[in-house]
Amino acid sequence: MTLPAPAHPVVPVTLDLRDFQRVPRSTDECVALWDRLEPAVVTVDPLAGPRVRIDLGDEGEVGIWFLDPATAPRPLGAGTRFAIRGVLEPPEVRHACTSCRAAGTTTYAPYRCAGCDEDRRTGRVCEAHAVFLDGGLRASCPHHVPECRCGTKAAAWCSGVRCRGRRAWCRTHLRGHPADATVSYCADCYDERFPVCERDGCRGTGYIRCEHRTLSAMKACGRRVCVEHAQRWQVYGPYSRGVALCSLHHQELRSTPPEGLIDIVLAGTVARAKGHRGQSASRRRVQLPRISIVRHILINTRRTVLDMEAIDRLFTGLEQRLRDRTPRDATVSAALELLAGHRPSRQEDIKRFREQHIEGRGHFDRLVQELRLTGRHQLADAVEFSDFRPRSRILFVKVPQQLQGSFIGTGGATIKRLRQRVGVEIKLERG
Ligand SMILES: [Zn+2]
Ligand SMILES: [Zn+2]
Ligand SMILES: [Zn+2]
Ligand SMILES: [Zn+2]
Ligand SMILES: [Zn+2]
Ligand SMILES: [Zn+2]
Ligand SMILES: [Zn+2]
DSSP string, 237-267: -TTS--EEE-HHHHHHHTTS-HHHHHHHHHH
pLDDT given at position 226: 94
Query: What is the 56 CA–ligand 2 centroid distance (Å)?
Result: 29
Distance 226 CA to ligand 6 centre (A): 4
Output the pLDDT for position 285: 67
pLDDT tens per residue, range 279-312: 554 445 689 999 989 998 998 899 888 889 999 9
In this model, does residue 1 exceed pLDDT 50? Answer: no
Question: In whole angstroms, what is the distance from residue 191 CA to residue 342 CA?
Answer: 40
In this prediction, residue 24 carries a pLDDT of: 81
Task: Tell me the pLDDT tens digit for each residue of 140-150.
Answer: 999 999 999 99
Instruction: Give 72 Cα–ligand 2 centroid separation in angstroms.
Output: 49
**pLDDT attached to residue 281:** 47
Rounded distance from Cα 293 to ligand 7 centre (Å): 23
Of 262, 266, 265, give the one whose Cα is nearest residue 245: 265
Q: Is pLDDT above 90 for 429?
A: no
Taking residues 210-230, what's their average pLDDT?
94
More confident residue, 397 or 431: 397
d(CA 174, CA 68): 68
275 pLDDT band, cuts 50/70/90, is confident
Is it the case that residue 277 has pLDDT exceeding 70?
no
Ligand nearest to the CA of 173: 5
Separation of alpha carbons 355 and 393, rounded Å: 13
Task: Report the separation in Å between the CA atom of 160 and the middle of ligand 5, taken as the mean of its atom positions.
Answer: 16
List Cα–Cα distances, 46 to 52, 80, 203, 226, 339, in angstroms: 9, 13, 85, 87, 104
Q: In this structure, which amino acid lies at residue 286?
A: V
Residue 30 pLDDT > 90, yes or no?
no
Q: Which residue has the higher pLDDT, 28 or 222?
A: 222
Q: Which ligand is nearest to the CA of 164?
A: 3
Residue 142, pLDDT score: 93
CA of 208 to the centre of ligand 6 (A): 10
Q: Ligand nearest 204 Cα, by number?
A: 6
**Which range (43-47, 93-97, 142-146, 360-364) has the least confidence?**
93-97
Q: ipTM score here?
A: 0.73
Q: What is the model's pLDDT at position 280?
A: 52
Average pLDDT across the chain, whole number: 89
**pLDDT tens profile 303-362:** 888 889 999 999 999 999 999 988 888 999 999 999 999 999 999 999 988 888 888 989
Is residue 59 very low, low, confident or very high in pLDDT (cuts 50, 70, 90)? confident
